[in-house]
Amino acid sequence: MSHMPAEFVIFGEALTDFIRQPDGQWRALPGGACWNVARVGARLGVATGYAGSLSTDVFGQELYTLTREAGLDLRFTQQVAKAPLLAMVTSTTPPDYFFIGDDSADLHFDPAQLPAGWMDEARVLQFGCISLTREPLASRLLEIATEAAKRGKRIAFDPNWRKLMDQPAYHVLMRKLLALSHYVKVSDEDLEKLFPGDEHALATLQQLAPQAEILLTRGSKGMRWIKGGQQIDQPAYRVEVIDTVGCGDASMGGWIASILRQPDAPVQAHLQCAAACAALSAARAGAYAATWEEVQALAGSPVRNAPA
């Protein structure tokens, strides 16, 4: 079976979210920030691989089936007979959650099992979220990023702040990854949590990631692209919001997919793609991955009146 070389490879966790319902029941939904971004890339028509390890039980099997259905390159996705990684979401407003995953499948990801020559073909490698707090996985991922950067590959990083990141080891690793990064997405909330008490958090981020284009997402206020002294604003598109689950992942996937699909397009075109992906996800329940056609249709429509 021949494969299109994967241009976009996303490393990190896939997991099952257990969301507590108002009646006390639990609803299980496949997810994980890194896995969500990979599905967005594939749906937008970019040859994409999700490089992570799933369990072989009912939860891992569902994630594997959806990975295949999303059109992701299955050579990157591993399965091991270990416990699943679970996120127990006890409240969505305000968000409150904890993770269950001692010695779970995600920690057994083996870089040696990636397809031969994959790094020669990849153009952008992405890292982020809780995979970078979980050893031995975190160190393995930093090694891959370091090697790829040496070989001239572009590194994308979406920290996607979670409570697990309040530890010194994460901050050391985060700084190393930022120094390697070409594309960094942060929400205004991420910035506040990653650099607590820092009134100049954005400037701090720019110093730590000197070569990076930064995409700062601000929910309904839209997003801002920053590189050196330049900045470009992109308002949010008007949609009826159902929920904001996966909106950040959608904007990240949309941004990178646009850069890979239309490398000569202006920055604004990539921002429109990122904003349209986020809006299309907000208009559906759960983490919805839009098609390129849906994104282009929305990108030609009116945006919200940007606040003055």
- The domains found in the chain, sorted by start residue, are 8-299 (3.40.1190.20)
Q: What is the arithmetic mean of pLDDT over 208-218?
A: 97
Selected residue with higher pLDDT from 308 and 19? 19
pLDDT in tens, 271-281: 999 999 999 88
Measure the CA–CA gap between 256 and 183, rounded to whole angstroms. Answer: 8
* pLDDT at 308 (0 to 100): 34
CB 145 within 8 A of CB 151: no
Q: What is the arithmetic mean of pLDDT over 130-150?
A: 97
Measure the CA–CA gap between 227 and 255, rounded to whole angstroms. Answer: 15
pLDDT in tens, 62-110: 999 999 999 999 999 999 999 999 999 998 777 788 999 999 999 999 9
Q: For the residues of 35-78, what is the DSSP string, one character each?
A: HHHHHHHHHTT--EEEEEEEESSHHHHHHHHHHHHTT--GGGEE
Tokens, residue 24:
């006390």
What predicted TM-score, i.e. pTM, was given to this entire model? 0.94
Measure the CA–CA gap between 269 and 304, rounded to whole angstroms. Answer: 17
